[in-house]
Amino acid sequence: MALKGQKTKSDYLEWEKMQSLVLKLERDGEFKFALLIATGSYVGLRSSDLLQLKWDQLLDQQTLTITEKKTGKERHITINPDLQDILKRLFVKMKAKHGQYMFVNRFGTKPVSIQHVNAKLKEIFSHYNIKGQYSSHFMRKTLGRRVWEMNKYSDQALLLLSQLFNHSSVSTTKIYLGIRDQEISNLYLSV
């Protein structure tokens, strides 16, 4: 695991595998991490913003408005109906309260830390035998790859993702999503 503040590289998870993992975690009583992975993959927020969310911001809402901690920019996120179903289900199973942090620590006083999330994700991915290098960043990348895939790998999708992620350029988005590495690897295979 990386030290606090150190940059790490994280893989993405294919959308169907992410959905399957969420269901397995829910089945196994790991409600907080089922919720975290689902919410993070559907809304694409950085972990620093994701962990600060409260139930009232998403539950039974059509949009989420948030000021990003890193950029100070306001974002408006439409909440996917599939995520809304997951939120409603887990709200009941977790016996959560309106106004409470969604990802509350074991004392119920504040959100869990990113370090705790990364350690728990490592444990989860090992337990479910999912290979790769995963940190809390994987959820944002999972959304990015899903959007790119659903838009037939178009340059337009990359442009929109670049804006969504607040990247300075499309090439930054390609590197972020691992597309540049894939393209270079494909060059070798095409020879």
Arithmetic mean of pLDDT over the chain:
92
Separation in Å, CA 163 to CA 72, 73, 160, 169, 172: 15, 12, 5, 8, 11
Q: Which pair of structure tokens corresponds to residue 160?
A: 């929109």
Helix/strand/coil for 96? coil
Burial of 117: CB neighbours in 10 Å, binned 0-12, 13-18, 19+: buried
Q: What is the pLDDT of residue 135?
A: 93
Confirm if 47 and 149 have CB atoms less than 8 A apart: no
Letter string b/e over residues 25-40, b meaning 16 or more CB atoms within 10 A of that residue's CB:
bbeeebbbbbbbbbbb
Nearest to 132 by CA among 11, 4, 8: 11
Q: What is the pLDDT of residue 108?
A: 86
pTM of the model: 0.91
pLDDT > 70? residue 6:
no
Q: What is the pLDDT of residue 184?
A: 74
Rounded to whole angstroms, the Cα distance separating 39 from 16 reads: 15
- pLDDT per residue as tens digits for the range 70-82: 989 899 999 999 9
- pLDDT per residue as tens digits for the range 137-186: 999 999 999 999 999 999 999 999 999 998 999 999 998 998 877 777 77
